[in-house]
Amino acid sequence: MQILEKIKTTFELQSAHENILKLRNSSYKERITKIKSILNYVLDESNHQIIAGALYKDLRKPNEEVITTEITPIILNIKEVVRNLKQWVKDEHVPSPATMLGMSSYIKYESKGNILIISPWNYPFQLTIYPLIYAIASGNAVIIKPSEIATETSKLICNMMQELFSENEVAVIEGGQEASTELLKLPFNHIHFTGSPRVGKIVMEAAAKNLSGITLELGGKSPVIVDGTTNIKTTAQKVAWAKAMNCGQTCIAPDFALVQKEHLTAFYSEFISALEKFYNPENQGIENAAEYGRIVNERNFERVKALLDDAIEKGAKVLFGGNLNKEQRFMEPTLLSNITMDMKLMQEEIFGPILPVITFDKNSDVIDLLQKMPSPLALYIMSKKQKTIDYFLDNTVAGGTCINELMLTAVNPSLPFGGVNNSGLGKTGGKHSFMDFSNQRGVVKHHMGNSLKLVYPPFNKKIFKYFKKIVRL
């Protein structure tokens, strides 16, 4: 009951008309000051240690991975906002047709009002702060619902927001499903959700009841296509890195690999070699590697294990890995061959350190397979042949694509990031995020006379003859 009361009072506080107007009419300088407070917080060494400690407890993330995947993206996006917000908030003047003689038109960017951010557990710090930056930049009030699965990071975010913001600006609601359910009943102006397609459908259904705007950053089965022209050693290293990072719990991680048949053996060899080099250079076992993380909790461990068990039962062969330690939530990076489409790991997002490999002869075989699957959040093309690259780009649909690289679709704030269909709704990143959290109000201003009276009834045939010439009907 206490949590329900907190949700109610916080929402009412932030939704008060005076509060919404105050934030909406705040200057870009005021917003930048708030955003810079986040930057100063993460750059403070003592705070960095707290952040790293929380993420280690939740996911056993090494400090270096915290720096590269949790802290650096926040810094880059804050710098993007600081550099561009003055321009983004300006009215955007647009042309007016000849029929609007004596008038001007422009787009006014204004805050949507009150925002709900529901963040995930896999990158629980970055994927909470990242949308928050842009929600503030757009002049909104924000309620954050961090994932209850990443308990330590959730506490950290709560303490951080209390230190940096008043509750009428940014507030945190901790809790499990009950808290999420109650929040989704409220008429937020916009909901930003990051998570699975299954939960995304629930969020979208709830948003529809209040006609709330919505951004869904989901996932899906992101393939990596490896053809015969690419450098197999370099490619295998990149795939191994992307798959094992955060123990495979990354929405844009390569979910499965499609490898041209004649290069399959080389890919297997180089992939295994890369994993050993990354996580077992002194032959102490990957389980003892400080650089390798863990599955977030027992429930998710059992889910991924069930996918592996099902694949093996249906004929998959373990070429590397497969070792498990339930008590430590350790799952070794695992390479699988002899994959069939009836295996559960080919029917749902793995979200763990398992890489199924499927072979192909012709490029058209790849397209035939991918067309039967939902559109992924990311698609990776590893090829040196431009004709092949263009073929895969032209015949697939994905939220984003990297060519001869992996995982970087979310790094450049100048690019739109987000899914398509099953993998998401809406685009974020840089100005795309600012637009996502803003209402683009179209404004027409009349400067002189009343040219429209010419089309008032009763209608004059001569005038309408002239009008038709203008619009070329």
Structure token pair of residue 311:
């694949």
Q: Are 375 and 421 in contact (CB under 8 A)?
A: yes
Rounded Cα distance between 37 and 26, Å, is 16
Q: Are 139 and 24 in contact (CB under 8 A)?
A: yes
Rounded Cα distance between 264 and 259, Å, is 6
Residues 6+ apart with CB under 8 A from 453: none
Rounded Cα distance between 398 and 423, Å, is 8
Q: Are 133 and 113 in contact (CB under 8 A)?
A: no
Residue 270 is among the residues annotated as catalytic for this protein: no
Residue with tokens 């750059």: 43
Q: Are 356 and 224 in contact (CB under 8 A)?
A: no
Q: What is the DSSP letter of 417?
A: B
Angle separating helix axes 363-370 and 386-394, nearest 10 degrees:
20
Rounded Cα distance between 357 and 378, Å, is 17
Residue 251 is among the residues annotated as catalytic for this protein: yes
Rounded Cα distance between 409 and 24, Å, is 31
Rounded Cα distance between 447 and 280, Å, is 73
DSSP code string of 86-129: HHHTS-EEE---GGGTTEEEEEEEEE-SEEEEE--SSSTTHHHH
| Pairing status of strand 334-337 against strand 317-320 | antiparallel
**Strand ordering across the sheet containing 103-111:** 92-94, 103-111, 438-446
Rounded Cα distance between 325 and 319, Å, is 19
Q: What is the DSSP letter of 259?
A: E
Structural element, H or E, at residue 133: helix 126-137
Tally Cβ neighbours within 10 Å of residue 426. 20
Given the residues 65, 247, 251, 270, select the one marked as catalytic.
Answer: 251
Given the residues 70, 182, 217, 332, select the one marked as catalytic.
Answer: 217
Residue with tokens 């996502």: 436
The catalytic site residues sit at 217, 251
